[in-house]
Chain A
Amino acid sequence: MSALSSSCSALLCCIYSAPSPFPRTLRSHSALSVTHRMASAMELSLLNPAMHHHGIAAKTASHLPVLPARRGAVRFRVRAAAAAPPAPAAKPGSPKKRGKTEVNESLLTPRFYTTDFDEMEQLFNAEINKQLNQDEFDALLQEFKTDYNQTHFIRNPEFKEAADKMQGPLRQIFVEFLERSCTAEFSGFLLYKELGRRLKKTNPVVAEIFSLMSRDEARHAGFLNKGLSDFNLALDLGFLTKARKYTFFKPKFIFYATYLSEKIGYWRYITIFRHLKANPEYQVYPIFKYFENWCQDENRHGDFFSALLKAQPQFLNDWKAKLWSRFFCLSVYITMYLNDCQRSAFYEGIGLNTKEFDMHVIYETNRTTARIFPAVPDVENPEFKRKLDRMVDINLKIISIGESNDMPLVKNLKRVPLIAQLVSEIIAAYLMPPIESGSVDFAEFEPKLVY
């Protein structure tokens, strides 16, 4: 159990890049040139095992690379300018201590992943793995080639106008939102791009799908980065590529984590989109209008990971798979909930109740995930939400200790019991009776199922 709890916190911090809801557009603008630099940097860092790190390392600070936007004259670093405290009142780590160029990578910061590419190659070698359903991959390839959003990510003057109108705390929150989302999309781009490159020989179809998904992610990240330029800022993605730490996950964990990441991303985007469609008075920034088409990309990406998992039934059909499935679901949901509750000003700014929004996203993602994962947590049990809410309270206490004026040693001593509480809540949530689930393609009861 102690092994579980330590990996639990490690995973919590690893997974976050999933729930960020922003993906897609590169083409124009500085992003392109950045991409090139980044691609080479990526190869260095993705392949260097020394870059791997596990959970705790996430706490170390790193420099977040932000360039002044080309057109903007203002010399701000994104974090320094806008993001210091995500929501004015609440954020882990002390804003006071941050220099202009320094950012805290907290447990919940979006993350970059890397994986064991050799193992990936083996997994998708049709010679070795007879389970590969090549038909399914052919079908996916056609779907990705269709490129539904080829012409979707085109900006208009509304963006700049809306950005100029936004002032004060809301402006800060928005910048942070764009930045986190851009980072998350960009991390998808890096990973998929590299997988596309590495799998080319062993499985050209799977490789091409990865490349097409990296196309989508690049568009998404680029579009977000252009959003930042409305605020006279831009993320230096090249620097980011080099400076960020990469979290190493074995392939099977990449599958679980990215599946969830894509599906939860879909649910976040579509929920925001539909909410704003119904309540246009909260439509404060035009990027949300793009979400409907945008998130269909996320959903498709998730489908691809679903096919990857099906092609590796060993990741779906035993008791270990069930434990890991529940674990990843929980990690993603909890991370999102804690994160969003720290930034409730953002969600309230667009007219959402943060907790209701998150719970809806969790319910829906869990229902979707139950189509493939062999077990999922019973999130609709009211006790689950009560546990989440207790975690939020504990997390806020931990944060406020960080912001106090106590000596570091005292802070740590004060944190210990709270962290223990948080861990025990997480474990208790993990031990709640799960729901057995999975694709009907694998279900033993399938012949009896009524559709």
Chain B
Amino acid sequence: MVAPATLSLRPCATLAPSRAALHRAHAHAGFAPASRPALSVSCPPTRFESLRRAATAVSDRQGSAEPSEKQEEKSRTYYFLVANAKFMLDDEEHFQEQLQEKLRLYEERSKEQDFWLVIEPKFLDRFPNVAKRLKRPAVALVSTDRNWIRFMKLRLDRVLAEQFDAETPEEALASNPAELKFDKPDKWTAPYPKYESGWWEAFLPPKSSNGTA
């Protein structure tokens, strides 16, 4: 994937003012193109651009290393929470509100999205011990923001948390095809209707990296 050099002049997208954000802000102007041709074509560059840029600058906050020019092409860390699709997309309605709130905030502040829902993520292959404990289909909440994922773990509780490194967002967010259908709840006590099925589509990664959208 080749990122035009001009992209790096745009403001970086990060979450709140964290130390990581500072690093990102200092990140080098311009970076060498990463060499991952395969998936790049259909991925709208706008959605990942600063992520790429940030990837070169920010590594795990725990990690000591200040990013240096030479590390630019390094992969970056993705943090995720995963559980079965019913829990993530159907039962926990506050979860949708939260994601929408975050998306609204990012739009208001012109931040680039750094969180996604991934249905039946391919990266689960790397975590057999996680995968075997999941009902399927599974859905993961993935973000490059470690703190936020930790917060979401606190909120959702009934999820498994892990992290991995990936060279590109496409690789990180790839998913397998899966069909999602949820039965209507037996007992609906609320004086309002359920959120419409399919609300999650706004949070799926750009199409090429997602098998189901």
- Give a binary string over A256-295; 1 marks a CB under 8 Å from any B CB, 0 the rest: 0000000000100011001101100000000000001100
Instruction: Please state if A307 and B154 are interface contacts (CB–CB under 8 Å).
Output: yes
- Is the beta-carbon distance between A135 and B17 smaller than 8 angstroms? no
Q: Report if B147 contacts A (CB, 8 A).
A: yes
Name which of B97, B158, B191, B193 has the most chain A CB atoms within 10 A of its CB: B191
Asked if A296 and B159 sit within 8 Å, CB to CB, the answer is no
Interface residues in B88-124 by Cβ distance below 8 A to A read 94, 97-98, 101-102, 105, 108
A278 touches B147 (CB 8 A): no
**For B98, B158, B189, B193, which residue has the most chain A Cβ atoms within 10 angstroms?**
B189
Please name the residue on chain B nearest to A277 by beta carbon: B192
Q: Which of A145, A275, A299 contacts B16 (CB 8 A)?
A: A145
**B135 within 8 A of partner (CB):** yes
**Partner of A360 from B16, B101, B190 at Cβ < 8 Å:** B190
In the bound assembly, the distance between CA atoms of A136 and B157 in angstroms comes to 13
Q: Do residues B97 and A139 form an inter-chain contact, with CB atoms below 8 A?
A: no
Chain B residues with CB below 8 A from A18, complex form: none
Tally of chain A residues near chain B (CB < 8 A): 40
Q: Are B105 and A139 in contact, CB atoms less than 8 angstroms apart? A: no
Whether A116 sits at the interface, judged by CB under 8 Å, is: no
Q: Any chain A CB within 8 A of the CB of B168? A: no
Number of interface residues of B (CB under 8 A): 33
Contact of A278 with B192 at beta-carbon distance under 8 Å, contacts A270-B97, A292-B97, A371-B157 already known: yes
Query: Which chain B residues (192-209) contact chain A, with CB distance < 8 Å?
Result: 192-193
Which residue of A is nearest B155, CB measured?
A: A303
A405 CB–B CB distance under 8 Å: no
A148 within 8 A of B: yes
B83 within 8 A of A: yes
**Known A146-B15, A270-B94: A353·B147 in contact at CB below 8 Å:** no
The distance in angstroms between the C-alpha atoms of A277 and B147, with both chains bound, is 33
Cβ of A440 within 8 Å of any chain B Cβ, yes or no, is yes
**A140 interface residue, CB < 8 Å from B?**
yes
A450: contacting residue among B16, B97, B134, B150, CB under 8 A: B134
Contact B151 A143 (CB under 8 A): yes
Interfacial chain B residues near A359, Cβ < 8 Å: 189
Q: Given A293-B101, A450-B135, A271–B192 Cβ distance below 8 Å?
A: yes
Distance between Cα atoms of A50 and B133 in the complex (Å) = 55
Residues of A within 8 A of B192 (CB): 271, 274-275, 277-278
CB-based contact B154/A360 at 8 Å = no
Residues in A with CB closer than 8 Å to B97 are: 270, 292, 296
Could you count the A-B residue pairs with CB atoms below 8 Å apart for me: how many are there?
Answer: 92
For residue B213, CB closer than 8 A to chain A, the reply is no
B1-27 vs A, Cβ < 8 Å mask (1 yes, 0 no)? 000000000000001111000000000
State the CA gap A131–B105 with chains docked (Å).
33
Query: Taking CB as reference atom, which chain B residue is nearest A356?
Result: B191
- Give the CA-CA distance A271 to B189 in the complex, in Å: 11
- Beyond A146-B15, A278-B192, whether A449 also contacts B154 by CB under 8 A is no
Selected contact of B84 from candidates A138, A146, A441, A451, CB within 8 Å: A451
**A residues neighboring B (CB under 8 Å):** 135-136, 138-140, 142-143, 145-146, 148, 151, 266, 270-271, 274-275, 277-278, 292-293, 296, 299, 303, 306-307, 352-353, 356-357, 359-360, 363, 371-372, 439-441, 449-451
What would 6 A/B residue contacts be, using CB atoms closer than 8 Å? A136-B150, A271-B190, A299-B155, A441-B157, A451-B82, A451-B159
Binding site for A on B (CB under 8 A): 15-18, 82-84, 87, 94, 97-98, 101-102, 105, 108, 133-135, 147-148, 150-151, 154-155, 157-160, 189-193
Q: A142-B151, A451-B87 are in contact. List 18 more A-B contacts (CB 8 A).
A: A136-B154, A139-B148, A139-B151, A143-B16, A146-B16, A146-B105, A270-B97, A271-B191, A274-B192, A296-B98, A306-B154, A307-B154, A353-B191, A356-B189, A359-B189, A360-B189, A360-B191, A450-B134
